[in-house]
Structure 1
C-alpha cells in the first residue's frame, strides 16, 4: 500500500501532535494518524506494517497500546483470518476527554500556585492576583466548553 506524499506528510504532522498531546510513542502516534486518515473499514495488519515501514513486532506492540487505550478497534471478516484495524468509533471523544484530564491537572496546579502566593507572598499575590485568576478562569472555561461538546457527542452516540 503506497501512500501519497501528501498523506505521508499529514501522517507525520498529526503524529507529532499526537506524540505531544496523547503521550504516545512516535510509532503509535503515526499508526493512529494513519488510521485516522484511512477509510472506515480500516486497514489490515499487513497494510499497517507496509505503510509504516516498521517491523511486525514494533507495529504489533504499538497497535496493542492503541487497543488498550481504546484509540483503535479491530474486527475480522467472515472467512478471513486477518485482523482489520480502525480508529474507535468515537476517537474524537477520547481525545476531548484526555484534554479535560490535562486541563484538570493544570487547573489543580494553578489553584495551588494561586493559594501559595496568597498565603506566602501576599504582596505578589495582590499585584498578580488578577493574572493568576484570569488563567484559572480560562482553564475552567476551556473545561466547560469541552465537556459541553463531549455531552453533544454522547447524545450523538445515543442516536447512532
Structure 2
C-alpha cells in the first residue's frame, strides 16, 4: 500500500494542474502522470495508483491506457508477480520538450504571419511596432534553438546508456 505525505499530495495536485493545461490531459490522467513523475524509478502498481488518485478502477485503467498510447508512461512486470507496475517512460522528458518545441513553432508561425500582415495592411502600425514584433520573433527562435540543442544532448546521452 502506497502511503503518501500531505506534501506529496499537494505536489501531485500542482503538477497535475500544470500537466492538464500544458499537455491537454484529462484531470485524472494528469494526476496519474504527476504521481508517476514523483514516484521512485520502480513506479507504482495499479492498486497504488487507485489509492493515490481515489478514482475508480475503470477510470484509472482508461487514463493509464491513454498515457501509455501517448508514450508518457510504460508498464512492466516483475518475475513471479502478476501485477503490472507503471512508471514514466524513459522518453517523458523528451516528450515534454518536444511538445514545448511544437508550441513555440506554432507561435513563431503566427507571429511571422502577423508581422507580414501588418507590414502589408497596416504599414504605420508595422513601422511603429516592427521592433517589438522582431524582438518577440527573435525570442521564439532563441527558445527553439535552445530546446533543439538540449534535445540533441538528451538523445546523445540516451544513446550512450
**TM-score normalized by structure 2?**
0.97
Alignment of 1:8-23 (within 5 A): 8-23=9-24
Which residue of structure 2 aligns with residue 148 of structure 1? Answer: 149
Separation of aligned partners in 2, 1:132 and 1:64: 42
* Native 8 Å contact 2:67 2:73 kept in 1: yes
Structure 2: runs of 5 or more not aligned: none
Which residue of structure 2 aligns with residue 45 of structure 1? Answer: 46
* Shift, 1:140, TM fit: 0.6
Provide the aligned C-alpha RMSD in A: 0.8
SS of 2:87 mapped into structure 1:
strand
Q: How many residues align?
A: 160
Separation of aligned partners in 2, 1:142 and 1:21: 17
Separation of aligned partners in 1, 2:154 and 2:81: 33
* Shift, 1:93, TM fit: 1.1
SS of 2:80 mapped into structure 1:
coil
Which residue of structure 2 aligns with residue 157 of structure 1? Answer: 158
1:39-80 deviation per Cα after TM superposition (whole angstroms, max 9, x unaligned): 101111111011110001111111111101100000111222
**TM-score normalized by structure 1?**
0.98
* Shift, 1:91, TM fit: 1.1
Separation of aligned partners in 1, 2:141 and 2:63: 34
Which residue of structure 1 aligns with residue 89 of structure 2? Answer: 88
Structure 1 residue ranges, 4+ long, deviating more than 4 angstroms after superposition: none
Separation of aligned partners in 2, 1:5 and 1:55: 21
Structure 1: runs of 5 or more not aligned: none
Which residue of structure 2 aligns with residue 29 of structure 1? Answer: 30
SS of 1:74 mapped into structure 2:
strand
SS of 1:75 mapped into structure 2:
strand
SS of 2:81 mapped into structure 1:
coil
* Native 8 Å contact 2:71 2:91 kept in 1: no
Which residue of structure 2 aligns with residue 4 of structure 1? Answer: 5
